[in-house]
Amino acid sequence: MRFEPRRNKTASPRTRRLRVAGGALCAVALAAALVTGCGQNSGDDTAAETSEAAKVLPNQTTSPSGSPSGTASLTQDQTERKDLLSTVKVTFDTAATTAVGEVSGGKLTDLDLEGLDDEDDASGSPSPSGTSSSPSPEGSASPSGTGSASPSGTGSPSPSGSSSSPKWIAEVAEEDGTAHKVTIDAVSGDVIDSAPDADQSDADKKALADQLSQATQTPQQAAKVATDKQPGWVTSVGLDENDSKVLVWQVDVVSKDWNKTTFDVDAAKGTITNQQVDDD
């Protein structure tokens, strides 16, 4: 509370002595109440100042650590991210390891969590065949857990029931640029499908092989650069050229407020060249 400074007045020696004596009484009164004055105007002034103090006292309702309030209004996109990520148990890094294990000598070029901001996905992620595009929002498991994957190595479909689970869709390339699509159950970690891209031309293979030879940074390293800048869930990583024709890893990170930030990480230098927040 801010008190008005006392005005300077000329006082007689007797008045000063009375004020010294009265000061001790004021100290006791101030210990009992914040604003109990010792002058002639203490009654009205104290009531007014106490009323103002009550208005200033804050109500601490902000949620700690930056986590969103349970009553916060979410947009449709934020709600969809929240619902989908609440079911995911296999994290990006685990899915990446599983996908690469399906292709001998392969390197990951793209990995996306299916059904999440698909209409905004600029990384050109492959579309799986025969898989559901609307994962069920059932369950409440936290996606922050590491979740151990169980790659089968056979490419055979997983047990029944996986069609309703969220999925990681990966592209893994051989050294010559031959791409393979690998679909992974994002709850169990099982490989649902693994097969070469039948539509890939020889020119496509060469272009992909050239890009991989230039990408000295791994997708895992790019994901770490992005999450060091914005902690959250990595939901997409893809190798692509930006508008300046610089080869980058495009990394999508969903933060605790369910907003998505897309980072362009230089695939050779490991530095962030651009970032854009999608808070819709």
Q: Between β-strands 179-185 and 260-266, what pairing exists: parallel, antiparallel or unpaired?
A: unpaired
| Structure-token match 């869930």, residue found | 233
The residues facing 234 across adjacent strands are 253
Which residues, including other chains, have CB under 8 Å from residue 28's CB and lie 6 or more apart? none
Query: Per-residue pLDDT tens for 138-182?
Result: 333 333 333 333 333 334 444 433 568 899 999 999 999 999 999
User: What Rg, from alpha-carbon coordinates, does the chain have?
Assistant: 31
Query: Per-residue pLDDT tens for 175-205?
Result: 999 999 999 999 999 999 999 999 999 999 9
Task: Give the relative orientation of helices 92-100 and 219-229 as an angle to the nearest 10 degrees.
Answer: 170
Sequence-ordered strand ranges (E) for 49-190: 107-113, 167-173, 179-185
Report the percentage of the chain scoring pLDDT > 90: 55
Query: Per-residue pLDDT tens for 203-250?
Result: 999 999 999 999 999 999 999 999 999 999 999 999 999 999 999 999
Are 156 and 143 in contact, with CB atoms under 8 Å apart? Answer: no
Range of weakest confidence among 30-44, 111-125, 187-201: 30-44
Structure tokens at 188: 């169990």
Distance of CA 223 to the CA centre of its chain: 12
Q: For residue 171, count CB atoms less than 10 angstroms from its CB and return exposed for 0-12, middle for 13-18, buried for 19 or more.
A: buried
pLDDT at residue 263 is higher than 80: yes
The alpha helices in 60-157, defined as continuous H runs, are 76-85, 92-100
